[in-house]
Amino acid sequence: MTVTDAFACAIAGLLLVQAALRAKSAWSGRRRERSLWGAFAALAVSWLCRTSTVNDLLDATGIYDLGFLVKHATAIVGICVLLRYVTAVYADAGHTVDLRRGARLSAVVHRIATRASFGTIAVMTAAFLFLLDPPDTSTLFFLERHEGDPGLPIYMGLFYLYMGAAAAVCAVQWGGAARVTPVRSIRIGMALMSCAMVLAVVYVLLRIAFVVTITVTTVSDGTSQAQETLTDSLLYLFSLLWGIGAIAPASRAGSERYRAARNLLSLHPLWRQLAMAAPDVVRHRPSRLFARLRFVGQSLDTFRDVFASPDASLPMRVNRYTVDIRDAIFELRRRAPADLAEKARDHAQSVPDGFHDTEIRAEALWLRTALLCGSPALHGDSAAPAPYPFGPGTDPRHEVPHLRAVAAAYSGIRDSESHTLLATTSANHARSQDARSH
């Protein structure tokens, strides 16, 4: 594998990873998600066509340099879809004057580019088949292979005109978006992609100048080699910048999904216990599909609850878990003794575990003990739920970390502690009932 092939495979791999990560959102998402996925996929194919392996496979069809035609055609498709993505982003943005102007410009450019792309590919294909002479296979570079051919300025001129115009529009649009985007990761990504498109415009201008030069005169091999080295370096650089810039916004979403998955795994044991105790108040009951499998059944059910439930995303699943926990706690308050919170606090203060805050441990004790109460009989004739003076409220920024701490404390409480606490509250309740009866 040559150095050129290695660079092409690396960039194609980067684009394919992006396409794979966005496949699910493209399948069920809006036009912008599908457009970005299509741009990554088409441009990845274009880069793969730069490798000698793919070129040799396409040359085996009997049409020499077919790999270059496929590379240029898929690049045009990728650019067209990328402009469609830019249009969709601005259409979904706010309603300020600048954004409306940007949206109109993007929409106009995309309409022109869409109509022009089919005509551009058709004319380029015709020039490739009928105006280009058989290539000089002693060199690897397309321009040198067809130097002096009358169809070369038409073929490459159309491609570079299309690419340069699209790159200029993207540079302006992403540069403007980078200035007003409040999210740091998205701002960095937009700035990198804008810089990449500026380099793309420079690349196009240099290539156009070289095509015009070799059309009207003959250049030395040294000049041709220097031009190829310079422009290829620009091509690799702007492609890498664009690929990395596209990853930057996705890194924020990836970080959010990672935090959500970590929160779900921490909350799942507590959520499962509460949901099984109050199955009618949760939106989706815990999985028991693999309950009969020894050793791995619990892990598989946990995986199904955390990663395969019908929620649209992991952060939404975290919200569901917290709501389910709150609803289940309210159900437990109808069963728990009225003095359970007071007794739990007293026990947590007298028997600390050394790892958790007293209030957190008291809340975990309340939950584990309340789960032992099978019915609301301990309340007597009172219909009021038992007090639950715990928790930080319903603000997700504080509630999720709080519930994670409670879940960790809950898992460390022994069954004997909760049975003892329940026996104490039951005895107190019986004595109070006797006192009232006398």
- Chain-wide mean pLDDT for the chain? 83
Identity of residue 331: E
Identity of residue 158: L
Residue 427 banded pLDDT, cuts 50, 70, 90: low
Q: How far is CA 145 from CA 132, 140, 152, in A?
A: 10, 7, 10
Is the pLDDT reported for residue 377 higher than 60? no
Q: What percent of the chain has pLDDT over 90?
A: 30
Is the pLDDT reported for residue 25 higher than 50? yes
Burial class (CB in 10 A: 0-12, 13-18, 19+), 308: exposed
Note the pLDDT of residue 126: 92
Is the pLDDT reported for residue 177 higher than 80? no
DSSP code of 386? Answer: P
What is the torsional sign of CA 379, 384, 387, 390?
Answer: positive
Does residue 25 or residue 357 have the better pLDDT?
357
Q: How far is Cα 164 from Cα 246, in angstroms, rounded to an integer? A: 20
Note the pLDDT of residue 406: 93
Q: How far is Cα 336 from Cα 386, in angstroms, rounded to an integer? A: 6
Residue 204 banded pLDDT, cuts 50, 70, 90: very high
Identity of residue 109: V
Q: How far is Cα 231 from Cα 280, in angstroms, rounded to an integer? A: 66
Evaluate whether 366 touches 388 at the Cβ level (below 8 Å). Answer: yes
Note the pLDDT of residue 94: 47
Note the pLDDT of residue 380: 47
Mean pLDDT of 350-359: 81
Note the pLDDT of residue 438: 46
Cα-Cα-Cα-Cα dihedral of 52, 54, 55, 59, to 10°?
A: 140
Which of 32-41, 190-199, 259-268, 425-434 comes out lowest in average pLDDT?
425-434
Q: How far is Cα 123 from Cα 155, in angstroms, rounded to an integer? A: 8
Burial class (CB in 10 A: 0-12, 13-18, 19+), 220: exposed
Taking only the tens place, the pLDDT of each residue in 69-86 is 999 999 999 888 887 777
Q: How far is Cα 425 from Cα 338, in angstroms, rounded to an integer? A: 9
Is the pLDDT reported for residue 402 higher than 80? yes
Is the pLDDT reported for residue 309 higher than 70? yes
Note the pLDDT of residue 394: 65
Q: How far is Cα 72 from Cα 126, in angstroms, rounded to an integer? A: 13
Note the pLDDT of residue 56: 87
Note the pLDDT of residue 262: 95
Note the pLDDT of residue 376: 57
Evaluate whether 378 touches 423 at the Cβ level (below 8 Å). Answer: no
Evaluate whether 79 touches 112 at the Cβ level (below 8 Å). Answer: no
Mean pLDDT of 53-73: 89
Of how many residues is the chain composed? 438
Mean pLDDT of 101-125: 75
Which structure tokens are listed for 423? 């026996």
Which of 88-92, 146-150, 396-400, 422-426 comes out lowest in average pLDDT?
88-92
Of 375, 306, 276, nearest to 334 by C-alpha is 375
Of 26, 2, 175, nearest to 86 by C-alpha is 175
